[in-house]
Structure 1
């Protein structure tokens, strides 16, 4: 699918450039993504439905800004965000991807640890956003246990039960988990989280510099980000060693990976169903 004339005209007018070519690039299931070749260099543009995902790119812009303000790890620069009659778009500076190696993995771990030193007074964020294509509530709470259960697990469990992907008995087990949750970890000051930190949401440029992309930010327990890095792979030993050398994780963090990954697994249950419901039940059984 080509970039619509409305978007091309809007981008050209607002940036005072001419778009010479728009080449499709991989951008996931939600967005159409393109590399724009223009008279002022290359840009990356993401496009989706204005009505199906209202405000999604504004949320992404807010998340990238929050990460950038920590002055720790790089994120793409937001060049332009706009809407046409039926579509939304986000223009970012284009980053030429390179190959990951031990040095870039170490730098990614180091910079993420430094980002996690940016703390907030409460868990949550000043606005809601998206996790994938699903609404994500960021209502603020004083404890991670309450925030994680009420703003992360509960909405996803309810949705999964309504979709008949999970049962009422599954929901009761999550209620049991809530009672146990405060005793399963030690609270820390809430840190800025990327929120969707799987291997597809970071990139290494041609000079070996790591960037975070596609955030679903909030402030919370930093083990949540670390847990997500283990869910689908893509992070090597050098990453974890560098992270822990800069900002050591609390004892027992490995045993809590399945606890925090209940949330992204529930998101996958609601988006894709199938085998993810079994993974949720298996992970939940570790703690119930």
Structure 2
């Protein structure tokens, strides 16, 4: 492995002697390592079969999130077709960490854009995430989020006839449930509990983005899907950005996108959750 890391450092133009290389567990997509030199500790991800632009988009997403310096993101030192080298963020949670995280996410969600989406497509996990610019949130959610995942599920044989009928019925009637007057704001895009970590002095840090401009409720819905965020995070969030009382009625529809992603990545174990949401909202 040291030979691989040495080649990555050569391409990244990091001219430091490599010492200890520690494998890091937990990544579903890439192999990850802490690489020690005399001056620094680097975090390196490597994936020989990464999709085209996978690591370029990760670097761009971290830059997108870090522009306003509202929450920490790792510094990126270089990337290539099969690798990315970043700052190693290491630390442990402090009493104020979760409140800082909640406030930082709320401030991120107050960073407004002009249109929904993003200039380029990127990734959600290892799946392509369709972007482009759209003036309507409902159309963006339908055409750039739900429809591509529904069509991918069909191509993978994960959309049996009953599920298919309900899914396309929902697309036809999405405007009945989703408001179209929201202003686009910056989103991390893949903000589950595993995509934030504590850095030095307990400073919260965002990692592994799937960024775009969207409705802030879309992010909140995913944050509440798989857990990983305590009530302290949401209380701090609401101090800056109160949550609409009707959010609870829209939340399952926003969670549907992420459940479809998981259905397409991991299989039918997520099918039941998809079906429950379709049964609730579909007109047929």
| Same fold per superposition (TM over 0.5) | yes
What corresponds to 1:181 in structure 2?
Answer: 174
2-structure distance, mates of 1:222, 1:257: 11
Residues 17-50 of structure 1: per-residue CA shift (max 9 Å, x gap) = 111121001241110000000122101001112x
Q: CA deviation at 1:97?
A: 3.0
Residue 210 to residue 258, structure 1, CA distance change in 2 (3 Å): same
Aligned residue runs from structure 1 range 65-80, under 5 A: 65-80=63-78
2-structure distance, mates of 1:281, 1:90: 37
Secondary structure in 2 aligned to 1:286? helix
What corresponds to 1:55 in structure 2?
Answer: 53
Aligned residue runs from structure 1 range 186-201, under 5 A: 186=179, 187-201=181-195
What corresponds to 1:108 in structure 2?
Answer: 101
Please say if residues 57 and 122 of structure 2, whose CA atoms lie closer than 8 Å, have aligned partners that are also in contact. Answer: yes
Aligned residue runs from structure 1 range 277-288, under 5 A: 277-288=271-282
2-structure distance, mates of 1:199, 1:164: 29
Q: CA deviation at 1:57?
A: 0.6
Q: Where does structure 2 lack aligned partners over 5 or more consecutive residues?
A: none
Q: CA deviation at 1:100?
A: 5.8
After TM superposition, the runs of 4+ consecutive aligned structure 1 residues lying more than 4 A away are none
Please say if residues 94 and 201 of structure 2, whose CA atoms lie closer than 8 Å, have aligned partners that are also in contact. Answer: no
Q: Where does structure 1 lack aligned partners over 5 or more consecutive residues?
A: none
Verify: 1:162 aligned to 2:155, yes or no: yes
Residue 275 to residue 100, structure 1, CA distance change in 2 (3 Å): farther
2-structure distance, mates of 1:142, 1:172: 28
Q: Which of 228, 249, 259 is residue 234 of structure 1 equivalent to?
A: 228
Alignment size in residue pairs: 280
Please say if residues 12 and 19 of structure 1, whose CA atoms lie closer than 8 Å, have aligned partners that are also in contact. Answer: no
Secondary structure in 2 aligned to 1:188? coil
Aligned residue runs from structure 1 range 1-288, under 5 A: 2-3=1-2, 5-12=3-10, 14-49=13-48, 51-83=49-81, 88-99=82-93, 101=95, 103-186=96-179, 187-288=181-282
2-structure distance, mates of 1:250, 1:182: 18
Residues 38-87 of structure 1: per-residue CA shift (max 9 Å, x gap) = 122101001112x442111100011111111122111111111124xxxx
Secondary structure in 2 aligned to 1:140? strand
Q: Which shows bigger deviation, 7-16 or 208-217?
A: 7-16
Secondary structure in 1 aligned to 2:100? helix
Please say if residues 198 and 204 of structure 2, whose CA atoms lie closer than 8 Å, have aligned partners that are also in contact. Answer: yes
Please say if residues 187 and 219 of structure 2, whose CA atoms lie closer than 8 Å, have aligned partners that are also in contact. Answer: yes
2-structure distance, mates of 1:39, 1:97: 19
1-structure distance, mates of 2:255, 2:153: 16
